[in-house]
Amino acid sequence: MKNNCAIYIHIPFCDHKCIYCDFYSIITSDNVDNFLTSLSKEIKFFAEKYSNGREFSSIFFGGGTPSLMHSDYIKTIIGELNKNFNIYSDSEITIETNPGTVNLKKLKEFRQSGINRISIGIQSFNEDELKFLTRIHDKETAIQTVYHAVDAGFENISIDLIFNLPGQTKEKWKSNLHTVVSLPITHLSAYSLILEQGTILNKMVLDGKVKIQDEDYDAELYKSTIEFLIKSGFKQYEVSNFAKPGYECIHNKAYWEHREYLGFGTSAHSFMNGKRWWNFSSLKRYISEIENNSQAVMNEEVPTEKQLHDEYIMLALRSKGIILNEYLSRFKSDWINKNYSYFETLKIENFLKMDNNTIYLTPKGYSVCDEILKNILH
């Protein structure tokens, strides 16, 4: 089995800040070249520490809106990574893309630069919902972007959608799902709307201008999503992620399987040798820190054994399940023994299955995953 270490690159530049987004992004093209210089320096610095003996099977360009960048910009970064790290020749290389920022020509250039997976942030195919979310595209542009990606040579295409938007009826959401399965995609991330502190949407809710629908309604939409996508040939392999056979996201699985990863760029996080660290968010601070220190680490921590254990359980139950042999090679059996009768109860109620040396949640269990984790991690 491949080592499956992962690399994440955070590109902070955006042309517009959406009301629900809490990722670090800036609406300016200042310092685009300086950022690339700093990124190259940061990559070299950490390669000296962590490249030996490690192999990487995924690179993920997130943001921000990395698809705003010229393909040569992205190609330069991929070249720096290949020069400094042992990256598999068949590694998965993803770029997050927003409809309205790419055309067929640009997508072809991205494909030629080495990108082989595209993640398109559509969020909705409903015009009113797109306006509410302050997206820059419409339904037609979103659909056209998917077909352009196919024409550009992408075989691995993912789409992001958000459900339980304010005022979203079951019919509107069902229409989104019908549209998405009619498209030539291989992967779908379907997220429930989350209010994040500091976002414009959160302030709108606090001010009473927007009303969020309740948890029961959210759970109904989620349950219907799982049922519909499974019937449509997608496999649920994580709480919010669905894939056609063979198209599970290698990069995201590295996180969920508690593997090592390196993050480069503003606000990026890393996890290596049992240590976690994260970069400054401010672009100017990031550039300044790299100039002076060759790295821009804001803070770091060494998680305790209990923190690592609880993270492992949380990530495993959200995705492939707890593989007992793997678990016991890392931790003692006490926790499994302590919770075994609770697992048996969950199994009887069809929230969980225990077979093939694995404890994993059913679709019914995924819908109450947070509650189950609360009961077993304390």
Confidence of residue 18 (pLDDT cuts 50, 70, 90): low
Per-residue pLDDT tens for 299-351?
Answer: 999 999 999 999 999 999 999 999 999 999 999 889 999 999 999 999 999 99
Per-residue pLDDT tens for 38-65?
Answer: 999 999 999 999 998 899 999 999 988 8
Query: In the prediction, which pLDDT does 137 show?
Result: 79
Confidence of residue 217 (pLDDT cuts 50, 70, 90): confident
Report the C-alpha gap between 168 and 149 in whole angstroms: 29
Residues in contact with 93: Cβ distance below 8 Å, sequence separation at least 6, in sequence order: 58, 59, 60, 61, 78, 114, 115, 116, 117
pLDDT greater at residue 155 or residue 1 = 155
Do 10 and 59 touch, CB atoms closer than 8 A? no
Specify the pairing of strand 5-11 against strand 261-265: parallel
Confidence of residue 1 (pLDDT cuts 50, 70, 90): very low
Residues in contact with 213: Cβ distance below 8 Å, sequence separation at least 6, in sequence order: 164, 166, 167, 168
Do 97 and 141 touch, CB atoms closer than 8 A? no
Report the C-alpha gap between 154 and 146 in whole angstroms: 9
pTM over 0.95: no
H or E, element range at 271? strand 269-272
Confidence of residue 2 (pLDDT cuts 50, 70, 90): very low
Strand order in the sheet with 352-355: 322-323, 358-361, 352-355
28 token code pair: 């300016």
pLDDT greater at residue 206 or residue 68 = 68
In sequence order, which ranges of 121-169 are alpha helices (DSSP H)?
127-132, 139-151
Query: In the prediction, which pLDDT does 160 show?
Result: 95
Query: In the prediction, which pLDDT does 348 show?
Result: 96
- Mean pLDDT across the chain, nearest whole number? 91
Query: In the prediction, which pLDDT does 296 show?
Result: 98
Report the C-alpha gap between 378 and 375 in whole angstroms: 7
| Closest by CA position to 308, among listed 279, 276, 334, 338 | 276
Q: For residue 50, how many other CB atoms are within 10 A of its CB?
A: 18
Per-residue pLDDT tens for 256-280?
Answer: 999 999 999 999 999 999 999 999 9
Least confident of 2-11, 285-294, 304-313: 2-11
Per-residue pLDDT tens for 101-154?
Answer: 999 999 999 999 999 999 999 999 999 888 877 777 789 999 999 999 999 999
Indicate if the pLDDT at residue 17 is higher than 80: no
Query: In the prediction, which pLDDT does 16 show?
Result: 63
Do 159 and 180 touch, CB atoms closer than 8 A? yes
pLDDT above 90 coverage of the chain, percent: 76
Do 139 and 125 touch, CB atoms closer than 8 A? yes
Query: What are the phi and psi torsion angles at 55 (to 5°)?
Result: -125, 145
Residues paired with 160 in a beta bridge: 121, 189
Confidence of residue 27 (pLDDT cuts 50, 70, 90): low
Per-residue pLDDT tens for 191-206?
Answer: 987 656 666 565 666 6
| Closest by CA position to 124, among listed 191, 223, 211, 204 | 191
Confidence of residue 166 (pLDDT cuts 50, 70, 90): confident
Give the SS3 label for residue 322: strand
Report the C-alpha gap between 236 and 243 in whole angstroms: 7
Q: Which domains does the chain have, with CATH numbers?
A: 5-256 (3.20.20.70), 321-376 (no CATH)
Do 83 and 118 touch, CB atoms closer than 8 A? no
Residue in the structure block whose two tokens are 């931790």: 331
